[in-house]
Structures are given as C-alpha cells and as structure tokens.
C-alpha cells in the first residue's frame, strides 16, 4: 500500500482530533505527518502513534510536499483548499466550501465511491446530517426508488465544535447549581433545552443546515427527482451523536420485514428495532462507533408506500472524520492518489 505524505489541517479542533485518532485506528500508511492549525495553536504538542509532533501554522507552503491533506473545516478550507489542490496535494475537505461546486465530488464511500474517478485533487465531505440520511436511504434505494423523504434532525453539540461542547458542560453545571446562564456560542441556553435553529436563515424561512439535506442528498445519490423536505434541524443538549426522524415514500410498497432485511445486508448498519424490548437507536449507543443505527421502522398510518424510522450515528466519527478517512482509503484502493 502506498505510503503517504499526509497533513491534517485543523488538528487541534474536535474534528481534527478525531481525524488523528482514526488514521491511527485504521492504520493509514504515511511516511510523514504534518499537524496544521492557526497561528494561535501553532507550537502545541500532540502525540500520534507514540511520536510527538509540533503543530505548525498552516500556510500554502505547508502543502508543497504533501500527497494528501485532510481538512477538518473552517476558514482554512477557503484559504488553502483549491490552492493546495493545484500544487498536487489531494484535498479532502470537511467544510461546506466546495460541496456544491460541480467539479468537486461529494462522497459517501458506501453510496457513491465511483464519484472519485476523475477527481481534480479536491473532494468534499458531506454535511454530517446528510451522511446519516443517505447511508440509511441507500439500501432501500437500491431495491426500490425512493420518491420522497421528510426528515427532522436532532443534532448533538459536537456538530458546532469544541466550544459548543464546553458550553453544554458549563451550562449544565450552572443550571444544577442555580446559577445564571449567559449563552455565548448558541443564541439561547442549550443545557436542558432544545433550539430549533441550526445555521442561518435562507429562502422560505428554512435554515441553511436544513437545505443542505436537499442539495447534498440529490448530488450524492445522483437523483434530483427525490423530494426531500427538511422539517427542522434541532440542536439538542447531547454531547455527540446525531439522530433523525425519517419518513420515506418508495416507488413500490415496502414491508417492514423487507426493510429490515435490506438493512441487515449492509455491514455498516446496525439494526436496533425491537420495540417490545425497548431496543432502538440512541446517542449513548451510537457514540464512538462508525455505524449507522436504524430502528423504529414502521408502516405509515396513511400511505401504503411509506415507512417511518429513527436513525442515529456519531457525528464526529462517521459524520465527519471517519468518512473523510474512508474517502482517502478509497482513493488508495482505486490507485487514484
């Protein structure tokens, strides 16, 4: 297997830390590793694989001798993404900067790995809530066309970064002690509360986070005829692992039993669907795994061509870092790097 000169950009953040963890877990082959971040974080020491590395400030020169760079997201993507790709470095980017560019593949390896063929050194990692949705839709779509999806997302604080996770911890203690709450990262108190807004407002009073589900599902699944309605993106007081309530209509009627069979045939899906035993997906069970958990599968009460389900996965892992590393593995496997 090819040995890479590898860089991780945003190495000190929540996603960056997960990227480091996962390249070690999955034994990504590298001869050289650069840990890059902002000037503020430069000089920090991080141990990887028993070796101590010093975090460097990211500059364009950082990518001149790199085969691949995993960007954790943030301003660095816009500042260096395309320029690094033009230098010959394969960029796998976790931000939304390039997701809708027609020349940039948007990839979930379980769904559309063939999109990597002919890449131009720049590959986008989808939004976490979209990855969760399409990994659950794909086994069904391969069996019978999915015509319509209605989805609500329930997103952990990890999706908003390390500072958001710290704010949840701090506010939880403040509430329990009866101390006043002064939100900084979120517009309202997040501890013991839910906030029905993630990201900025766009047309029709949807949020950008909600509309990403529409735009990205169409691009990844290669089918713009799928009707995707995002009901609401909700921030919940959970540290990590997102959940979604999904209603889907199929071209052919699909029984609950057949749906379970389709999910059982995918090694990346964990079927947790036994209501009598109170078995269903939850953040506490999906956290720190790379699986998509599916449960509460049931026929719709009105539409015979429709099912409802509840799904969950770890946003920091499969929703961000693991998916990016899997893209890198797919590039190596296909000799595209």
Q: How many CB atoms lie within 10 A of CB 284?
A: 10
* 189 phi and psi angles, rounded to 5 deg: -55, 130
Mean pLDDT throughout 206-218? 97
CA angle at 330 for the pair 69 and 239, rounded to the nearest 5°: 65
Handedness of CA 3, 15, 86, 131 (dihedral sign): positive
The mean pLDDT value of the chain amounts to 97
**Residues designated catalytic:** 128, 242
* CA 136 and chain centroid, separation: 13
Question: Residues 315, 156: contact at Cβ < 8 Å?
Answer: yes
Both 115 and 202 in a single domain?
Answer: no
Both 118 and 170 in a single domain?
Answer: no
Both 81 and 215 in a single domain?
Answer: no
Mean pLDDT throughout 162-169? 95
Query: Rounded to whole angstroms, how far apart are CA atoms 71 and 69?
Result: 6
Both 150 and 183 in a single domain?
Answer: yes
Both 20 and 145 in a single domain?
Answer: no
Ordered DSSP codes for 104-118 = S-B--TTT-GGGGTT
pTM as predicted:
0.96
Mean pLDDT throughout 78-102? 97
Q: Which pLDDT score is estimated for 74?
A: 85
Ordered DSSP codes for 101-170 = -TTS-B--TTT-GGGGTT--SEEEPPPHHHHHHHHHHHHHHHHS-EEEEEEEEEE-GGGG-HHHHHHHHH
**Which domain, by its residues, includes 218?**
130-315
Residue environment code for 85-113, b if the CB has 16+ CB neighbours within 10 A, otherwise e: bebebbbbbbbbbbbeeeebbbbbbbbbb
Query: Rounded to whole angstroms, how far apart are CA atoms 16 and 100?
Result: 23
Both 13 and 109 in a single domain?
Answer: yes
Taking 90 as the threshold, does the pLDDT of residue 73 lie above it?
A: no
Both 164 and 216 in a single domain?
Answer: yes
Both 134 and 270 in a single domain?
Answer: yes
Mean pLDDT throughout 100-119? 97
Q: What is the CATH number of the domain that holds 163?
A: 3.30.360.10
Please classify residue 64 by burial: count the beta carbons closer than 10 Å to its beta carbon, then call 0-12 exposed, 13-18 middle and 19+ buried: exposed
> How would residue 1 be classed by pLDDT, with cut points 50, 70 and 90?
low
Share of residues in the chain with pLDDT > 70 (%): 100
Q: Which pLDDT score is estimated for 2?
A: 77
Write the pLDDT tens digit of every residue in 55-67. Answer: 999 999 999 999 9
Q: What is the CATH number of the domain that holds 16?
A: 3.40.50.720
Domain tally, the chain: 2
Write the pLDDT tens digit of every residue in 221-272. Answer: 999 999 999 999 999 999 999 999 999 999 999 999 999 999 999 999 999 9
Write the pLDDT tens digit of every residue in 123-153. Answer: 999 999 999 999 999 999 999 999 999 999 9
Both 149 and 114 in a single domain?
Answer: no
Both 168 and 299 in a single domain?
Answer: yes
Both 122 and 136 in a single domain?
Answer: no
Both 307 and 228 in a single domain?
Answer: yes
């Amino acid at each position: 297997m090819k040995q890479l000169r590898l860089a991780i950009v945003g190495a000190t953040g929540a996603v960056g830390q997960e990227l480091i963890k996962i390249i070690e877990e999955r034994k990504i082959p590298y001869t050289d590793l650069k840990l890059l971040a902002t000037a503020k974080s430069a000089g920090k020491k991080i141990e990887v694989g028993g070796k101590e590395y010093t975090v460097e400030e990211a500059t364009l020169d950082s990518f001149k001798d790199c085969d691949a760079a995993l960007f954790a997201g943030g301003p660095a993507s816009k500042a260096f993404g395309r320029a690094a790709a033009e230098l010959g470095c394969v960029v796998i980017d976790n931000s939304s900067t390039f997701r809708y560019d027609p020349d940039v593949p948007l990839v979930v390896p379980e769904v559309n790995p063939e999109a990597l063929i002919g890449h131009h050194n720049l590959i986008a990692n989808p939004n976490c809530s979209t990855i969760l949705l399409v990994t659950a839709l794909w086994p069904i779509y391969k069996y019978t066309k999915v015509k319509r999806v209605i989805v609500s997302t329930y997103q952990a604080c990890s999706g908003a970064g390390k500072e958001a996770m710290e704010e949840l911890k701090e506010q939880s203690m403040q509430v329990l002690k009866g101390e006043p709450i002064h939100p900084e990262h979120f517009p309202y108190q997040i501890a013991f509360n839910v906030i029905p807004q993630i990201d900025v407002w766009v047309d029709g009073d949807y949020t950008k986070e909600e509309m990403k589900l529409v735009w990205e599902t169409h691009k990844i699944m290669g089918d713009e005829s799928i009707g995707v309605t995002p009901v609401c993106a909700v921030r919940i007081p959970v540290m990590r692992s997102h959940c979604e309530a999904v209603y889907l209509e199929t071209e052919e009627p699909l029984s609950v039993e057949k749906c379970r069979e389709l999910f059982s045939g995918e090694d990346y899906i964990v079927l947790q669907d036994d209501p009598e035993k109170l078995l269903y997906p939850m953040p506490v069970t999906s956290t720190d795994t790379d699986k998509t958990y599916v449960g509460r599968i049931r026929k719709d009460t009105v539409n015979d061509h429709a099912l409802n389900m509840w799904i969950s996965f770890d946003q920091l892992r499969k929703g961000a870092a693991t998916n990016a590393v899997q893209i890198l593995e797919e590039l190596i496997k296909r000799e595209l790097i």
